[in-house]
Homo-oligomer: A and B are copies of this chain.
Amino acid sequence: MQYSFASRAQTLLSSPLRDIRELAKRDSFISLAEELPAEELFPLHSLAEAATSVLSEDPLALQYGEAEGYGPLREWLSQDFSRRKGLSVQPQHILLTTGTQQAIDLLVRVYVDPGDPVLVENPTSPGLLQVLRLQGALIVPVEGDQNGMLPEHLEAMIRQHKPKLLMAAPNFTNPTGVMWSLERRKQVLELCVQHGLLIVEDDSYGDLYFADAKNQGTRIPSIFSLEEPQGKHVLYVGSFSKTVAPALRTGWAAGNRRVIEMMTAVKQMADWQSSMLNQRMLHNLLESKHFQLEDHIGMLNREYATRLKLMVELLKRSAWKDSTYAVPSGGMFLWVQLPPGLNGDALLRASLLKGAAFLPGSMCSAEDHTRECIRLNFTHPGRDELLLGMNLISEAVLEFTARN
């Protein structure tokens, strides 16, 4: 049988992450390549209670539901927008999805035709690049710095390519961990409004903000919240995967009613709906007196901040002396520019032999740039694992730098 796959489907098979995941099944292997929260911090007991409560009541918890997602959870999100951000976002402007990855895939399927130029951050997340490649988009990277996307380059790319879509994660963007300044957010929004671009703002990591006592109040508003009314030019996507638990597979998109309706229609076609059972469990948890989401996130952030500090300490060792990095104030990743001459893909091969992995920068660039960078995850490995993993990667670095 000669299988005849769709022309762009082959682009999907090239992910080195698949090989890393195969290796990572070995017990002793340490992966800093993934985008995983720490499972030992999940609210396991509270979710067990939520499951019992949901499954003791109503067989409809096991039935098909609405493509938009469970109504009371969309209502909760609407109230959360109001409570925490002072924004008015009605439930019918919210679609529940199987994580932010699905929200992004759905939007791209309804908004992008093959050949359409789409602006992305440079570097950006491998998952986003894959979605855009399968849809046949022309991927246009826009340069940024430690304050976010550069408005001058953005404007130049808009004029050159006439795109209709910009995709960005202004809070602790994947992979660099950069938090955009308020000024940049305003400038980017203004340019997109002026030229009629839709912005997809991925805020998957926004709640993982490692504030200390004195800068608690300085969280920077989302681009979504800077526009009034919300949603005209910005589709805001978020998730409970990093703040509660990924296996609930619950993310959301919030925005203009027409965009949400179109995404809902393709969602229904793609999988009818995400699990009502998971959405009801999550809603039950969030409404429970025994669980406070903000306290839970505070606990996560204290632990993740500690792990990040440990990683930064380990990067002070001699192996890394010619590398450069900026310490992020949140998120899940540290983005490291390797010592001169060192290539992330070659380092990964050496590192895999030692039993540790990270994400090579080449996977985060549409044009195969950022080969000299690597992305290290500090949220999943426990402290001991982190120490051991960094030791193994350091050994690999030394093998290269000692040669030069």
Binding site for B on A (CB under 8 A): 1-7, 9, 12-13, 15, 18, 21, 34, 36-37, 39-40, 42, 44, 47-48, 51-52, 55-56, 59-66, 97-99, 101-102, 105, 109-113, 116, 127, 130-131, 134, 164, 196, 198, 232-233, 241, 245-249, 256, 258-259, 261-262, 265-266, 268-278
Contact = CB atoms under 8 A, between A and B. Distances in A.
A52 to B, nearest CB: 6
Contact of A5 (B39, B55, B262): B262
Given A55-B48, A246-B62, A247-B61, A1 B105 contact: no
A195 B100 CA distance: 41
Nearest to A51: B51
B262 A276 contact: no
Contact of A271 (B60, B105, B113, B245): B105
B4 A63 contact: no
Contacts of A275: 98, 247-249, 275, 278
Contacts of A18: 265
Given A59-B39, A278-B277, A246 B4 contact: no
Contacts of A39: 59-60, 62-63
5 contacts: A13-B265, A34-B64, A99-B272, A130-B269, A247-B276
Contacts of A64: 34, 36, 241, 246-247
Contact of A101 (B3, B111, B271): B271
Contact of A247 (B5, B63, B198, B268): B63
